[in-house]
Amino acid sequence: MAFKTFSILIIIRTCLFIIALLVLTALLSFPGYHAATILTVVVLFYLGYDLIRFVTTTNQELTRFLEAARFADYSQRFHFSEQGSGFEELGATFTEILEKLRKERGENESRNRYLHSLIEQVPVPLLSIHPSGKITTWNVSARKLFAQHRVQSLDDFAQLGGDFLQQLKKLKPGERRLVSISIEGAEHRLSLSATELLTNGNIDMLVSLQDIQNELDFAQMQAWQDLVKVLTHEIMNSITPVASLAKTSVELLEDVKQKQAKAQNIDDEIEELFHGIDTVSRRSDSLIKFVSSYRKLTDIPKVQPSKVDISQLFSTAQTITSQSFPDQQTEITTLIEPTQLTIKADKDLIEQIMINLLKNAYQATQHNDGPQKVTLHAYINRRGRGVIEIQDNGSGIEDDVLDKIFVPFFTTKRDGSGVGLALARQVMIAHRGNISAKNLDSGGACFTLTF
């Protein structure tokens, strides 16, 4: 509508200019009309000036409109009430277009902020690998995963060790790979998947790194628990009646023995039978106790998380453990950063883990020729997780058993049951955390609880 009005006004002004020009031509053909000629010349100049001004003003405002659209300056307004109704309608159209552009840009920015916030909160780490090898981490999960390492290019992943870098380089769009990496002393099993994205004429590869370590740990724990449940059920069903029968037989034989005290030949045979059945009875009781201890692996109570003060946790564990080793002079060092550090965990379960690990540390330093030292260290790692370390200066853990110590029933102690560390691992899995062990370069071992 505005363009139609503008065209009509251009045509009218052009027609008036042509008519004035024709009149001037006619007046010049007939001498004696000097006044009329001068007046026509003045009118002709005015019409020419008005036509040029009209077109020039329109071009200037059109240029201003295009510049405002180009540089997203949506504050510009076009009010041409002084130039006439045609300009006023044109100005209103320009203003309306800029207002629509402003609204669309606002909606796009809101949508982009929403998508950005959505990506930031995705629990799966996301990163882009650009053709130049540059890396972009897209969300909080990715930045937390690699917080300890400065990752800006593909080659920076070499510091993670293992074959992670090679697996990442070999990863193809639509393909999935499983890799293992160690970060902050904790093992992570990552499921890698990739897809290609075309951005600004470049093909980037978007990679997701889903940490499935907790799921694998939980599945393994469930498998062990199911196995133990079956074993304990079958063993208890078999051994309970045997134990009961053996005890009954001992009681009956004791009664017979008393009645036949004068029959020496019978007494000797009964004595041998008595000792045999008594041995069966005692071994049955031991086996029942043995199986009952393994039931602990399947009877972990549901985690009841609460705020646990680390300082109080360390103090309680030290007090209880030291009572079991009254003659041992062990030097305990505690380091808590910050001093008021707290974690959210089940206090009773974590206390039991700490006591078991502290007892292990005491036992590891028992045969030291020099000082017996144990260090309790708690801090927040770069990923924002609470960490507790129990270190000792004992002989450490043999390398060939280091990866087996958390397996249920595995033990290197003569009187050990192989339940303590396996139970600690299950408790940490129930807390969605993990437990790991390593040997220290200075000697001794270090157990790490990561929440």
With CA atoms as reference, report the closest residue to 207 among 168, 235, 259. Answer: 168
Q: Are residues 66 and 165 in the same domain?
A: no
The reported pLDDT for the residue numbered 342 is: 92
Residue type, 197: L
The reported pLDDT for the residue numbered 294 is: 58
pTM, entire model = 0.49
The reported pLDDT for the residue numbered 231 is: 63
Q: Are residues 324 and 423 in the same domain?
A: yes
With CA atoms as reference, report the closest residue to 221 among 438, 402, 428. Answer: 428
Q: Are residues 189 and 161 in the same domain?
A: yes
Tally of domains within the chain: 4
Residue type, 252: L
The reported pLDDT for the residue numbered 288 is: 66
Q: Are residues 360 and 437 in the same domain?
A: yes
Contacts of 170 (CB under 8 A, 6+ apart): 177
Q: Are residues 405 and 384 in the same domain?
A: yes
Question: Residue 230 is part of which domain span?
Answer: 216-298
Q: Are residues 195 and 231 in the same domain?
A: no
The reported pLDDT for the residue numbered 379 is: 93
Q: Are residues 327 and 446 in the same domain?
A: yes
User: The domain that contains 410 carries what CATH number?
Assistant: 3.30.565.10
Rounded-to-integer distance, Cα 195 and Cα 182, Å:
25
* Residue 296 near residue 419, CB atoms below 8 Å: yes
Q: Are residues 26 and 137 in the same domain?
A: no
Q: Are residues 78 and 33 in the same domain?
A: yes
Q: Are residues 159 and 278 in the same domain?
A: no
CA–CA–CA angle 9, 12, 14 (5° rounding): 105
* Residue 325 near residue 358, CB atoms below 8 Å: no
Among the three residues 72, 97, 117, which one is the final residue of a domain in this structure? 117
The reported pLDDT for the residue numbered 389 is: 93
CA distances from 7 to 10, 73, 155, 265, 358 (A): 5, 28, 64, 139, 93
Among the three residues 187, 211, 235, which one is the final residue of a domain in this structure? 211
Tallying the residues shown for the chain, one arrives at 451
Among the three residues 117, 134, 154, which one is the final residue of a domain in this structure? 117
Spell out the per-residue pLDDT of the chain, length 451, in tens.
545 666 677 788 788 888 878 877 877 777 777 777 788 788 888 888 777 777 777 677 777 777 777 777 767 766 655 555 455 666 677 777 777 877 888 888 888 888 888 888 887 888 888 888 888 888 888 887 777 677 778 777 777 766 777 777 888 887 788 777 776 666 777 888 888 887 777 788 888 887 777 776 776 667 666 666 656 655 665 566 666 666 766 666 676 666 666 555 555 556 666 665 666 666 666 666 656 655 665 566 778 888 999 999 998 888 888 877 777 778 888 999 988 999 999 888 888 888 889 988 888 888 787 888 889 999 988 778 899 999 988 888 888 888 778 877 667 666 666 677 888 888 888 888 888 888 888 888 899 999 9
136 beta partners = 128
User: The domain that contains 130 carries what CATH number?
Assistant: 3.30.450.20
Q: Are residues 280 and 315 in the same domain?
A: no
The reported pLDDT for the residue numbered 40 is: 78
User: 8-24 in b/e burial notation, b at 16+ Cβ within 10 A?
Assistant: ebeeebeebbeebeebb
The reported pLDDT for the residue numbered 266 is: 57
Q: Are residues 108 and 169 in the same domain?
A: no
The reported pLDDT for the residue numbered 388 is: 92
The reported pLDDT for the residue numbered 190 is: 80
